[in-house]
Structure 1
C-alpha cells in the first residue's frame, strides 16, 4: 500500500543554508520516525511558500545516503491569504504495511499549527 507521509517546518531566513538545513531536519525526522527505506519511496513532493526562493529544498534529500534515485519535485504552495509564511511542506509517497493511524507525520517550528491534532506525534 502506498501511503502519504507528511511533514512541514518553518524557516527563519530565505537563504540557501537555512532552506536546505530546515528541509533536511524535517525529512530526517520523517525517515527516522517512520523507518523509511529509500527503496520503498515512490516519490517525494516538496512545496515552499512564495517567500522562499533562495534554494531548492530537495537539495537536502540528495545528501542522504541511498536517496539519489528517488524522484523529487519542488513546487510553490498556493498563496492563500493569511496562510503560514516561510514554510516548507513535504509529502513522501511510501510503500508500507503501516496502517493509516500508525503513520507518524512531523510538524516542526511554526508549522505545528498546521495540524494541531497531530502534535503529540511531532518533535519540537
Structure 2
C-alpha cells in the first residue's frame, strides 16, 4: 500500500545554504522516524513558499546516500494571504504496511503550527 508521509520546516533566510540545510534536516528526520528505505519510496514532492527562491529544496535529497534514483520534484506552494512564510513542505509517497495512525509526520521550527495535533505524536 502507498501512504503519504508529510513534513514541513521553516527556513531562517532565503539563501541556498539555509534552504538545503533545513530541507535535509527535515528529510532525514522523516526517514529516521518512519524507518524509510529509498527502495520503498515511489516519489517525493517538495513545495516552498514563494519567498524561498534561492534554490530548489529537492537538492537536499541528493545529499542523502542511497537516494539518487528516487523521483523528486519541486513546486511552489499556493500563496495564501497570512500563511506561514519561508516554509518548505514535503510529501513522501512510500510503500508500507503501516497503518495511517502509525505514520510519523514531521513538523519542525515554526512549521509546528501547521499541524499541532501531529507534533510530538
TM-score band, normalised by shorter chain: over 0.9
The offset of 1:119, in angstroms, is 1.4
| CA deviation after TM superposition for structure 1 residue 120, in Å | 1.9
Match of 2:104 in 1: 104
Give the distance between the partners of 2:16 and 2:39, measured in 1 at CA. 28
Q: Secondary structure at the match of 2:97?
A: coil
* CA distance, structure 2, for counterparts of residue 39 and residue 108 of structure 1: 25
Q: Stretches of 4+ moved more than 4 A in 1? A: none
Query: In the alignment, is residue 14 of structure 1 matched against residue 14 of structure 2?
Result: yes
Q: TM-score normalised to the size of structure 1?
A: 0.96
Match of residue 71 from structure 1: 71
Aligned residues: CA RMSD: 0.5
Q: Distance in 2 between matches of 1:119 and 1:39?
A: 27
Is it true that 1:93 corresponds to 2:90 in the alignment?
no
Task: Tell me which residue corresponds to 2:5.
Answer: 5
TM-score normalised by structure 2 residue count: 0.99
Query: What is the match of residue 39 of structure 2?
Result: 39
Alignment length, in residue pairs?
121
Deviations 1:22-68 (A, max 9, x none): 00000000000000000010000000000000011111100111100
**Partners in 2 of 1:119 and 1:34 — Cα distance?**
14
